[in-house]
Amino acid sequence: MLGKQKQRLKELKHKRDSFRWTIEEIKHSDMDPERKGIYLNDVEYQYYMIDLEIENIEHEIGMMPLKLMLAGFIVSVVLMCIYFYS
């Protein structure tokens, strides 16, 4: 599971970088200003959504050790309760 998340994170970062280049290309193009604004807005929105997904995956990866510690703590408390009551 963690390997899949890291692979997905790598793919999203690559995609985000390509959107960054696309945004710069749009800004420096000779398009009609109205079409340029619409197209730029669409690409920036896609960039923003990818950025949010990257943040969510990084947060999940960062929380994994804490989830494992919580599971270990719960198991140890249950085992201690069983030991004291038997």
User: How is residue 15 written in tokens?
Assistant: 């995609």
* C-alpha span between 15 and 49 (Å, rounded): 11
Number of domains composing the chain: 1
Q: What is the DSSP letter of 28?
A: T
CB neighbour class for 23 (10 Å; exposed up to 12, middle 13-18, buried from 19): middle
pLDDT category of residue 46 using cuts at 50, 70 and 90: very high
Supply the pLDDT for residue 31. 87
Supply the pLDDT for residue 1. 72
* C-alpha span between 12 and 49 (Å, rounded): 10
Supply the pLDDT for residue 25. 92
Domain range for 7 is: 2-85
Average per-residue pLDDT in the chain?
93
Which of the residue ranges 33-37, 52-56, 79-83 would you say has the lowest mean pLDDT? Answer: 33-37
Angle at 67 between CA 63 and CA 69, to 5 degrees: 120
8-20 pLDDT, tens digit each = 999 999 999 999 9
